[in-house]
Amino acid sequence: MDWNGYATGWARLHGGYDPRRAGPLVRGWLRMSYGVGRALNRIGFTPSAVTTLNLLFCLAVPAVVGWRPGVPVLVASGLVLLAAVADSADGAVAVISGRTSRIGYVYDSLADRIGESAWLAAFWIIGAPGPLVVTAAALSWLHEYTRARASIAGMRAIGAVTVGERPTRVLVALFGLAACGAAGLVSRELPAGAGTLVTAVWVLLSAIGLTQLFAAVSTELGR
């Protein structure tokens, strides 16, 4: 399957959003996912196997962070990047191989929620306050839950691309863990404050994103 065929199939699964019309960053990421997905498909990976790989990378993040501050936290940041690549590649494998399925969609969504909880657990281990971490997880879950319920209620499009979308959360986790790791190389006291700040940013962006999404859903379903 070439890029144009993949883009058409991807758009069909994402509310008609054509990746060929996306900005350079999004288009570049999706082209990378297409390349990785095509390679994984050739060597026999199924979409569910790639999703499982994504989940394992995510679950390894708090385990690595719990080892000791500094370099292991930087390694955890790399694991988040690998998880993000796998998360995009599982969908690419599904489209390229023609193995898209409803159960695969559910499994992928479940893996994403568990994975994000694992990232936030890592920030808690670093020193972020528990209530702040729980708030971040709840807001992220509400964002996805609101979109899912709105879709069931009849919303045909994605509603709105908000500042609290999953790609934003991936970036916050990725660069946040990198910052905490770098801080740990300077002083053992710094990572806790850095982790708290990063989690607070996660909460803020998720709250704004949820507000944006709810406004779009209210407009769409209130017509």
Q: What long-range pairs does 56-64 form, CB within 8 A, spacing at least 24?
A: 57/82, 57/83, 57/86, 57/115, 58/83, 58/111, 58/114, 58/115, 58/116, 58/118, 58/119, 59/114, 59/115, 59/118, 61/118, 61/119, 61/121, 61/122, 61/177, 62/118, 62/119, 62/121, 62/122, 62/125
pLDDT of residue 57: 97
pLDDT averaged per 10 residues in sequence order, the chain, 223 residues: 80 74 77 90 93 96 80 89 93 87 89 96 96 97 90 72 88 95 88 96 96 88 72
Structural domain tally of the chain? 1
What local confidence, expressed as pLDDT, does residue 157 receive?
64
Token output for 199: 């989690």
Alpha-carbon distance 155 to 151, whole Å? 5
What's the rounded Cα separation, in Å, for the pair 183 and 76? 14
pLDDT score at 71: 67
Nearest to 62 by CA among 82, 81, 77: 77
Position 11 scores a pLDDT of: 79
Stated length of the chain:
223
Beta strands in 5-127 (DSSP E): none
Question: What is residue 222's predicted lDDT score, i.e. its pLDDT?
Answer: 72
CATH number at residue 200: 1.20.120.1760
pTM of this prediction?
Answer: 0.89
The boundaries of the domain holding residue 66 are 3-221
Identify the DSSP state of 19.
G
Measured from the Cβ of residue 114, the count of other Cβ atoms closer than 10 Å reads: 13
> Which pLDDT value is given to residue 61?
95
Q: How far is the C-alpha of 209 from the C-alpha of 119, rounded, in Å?
A: 19
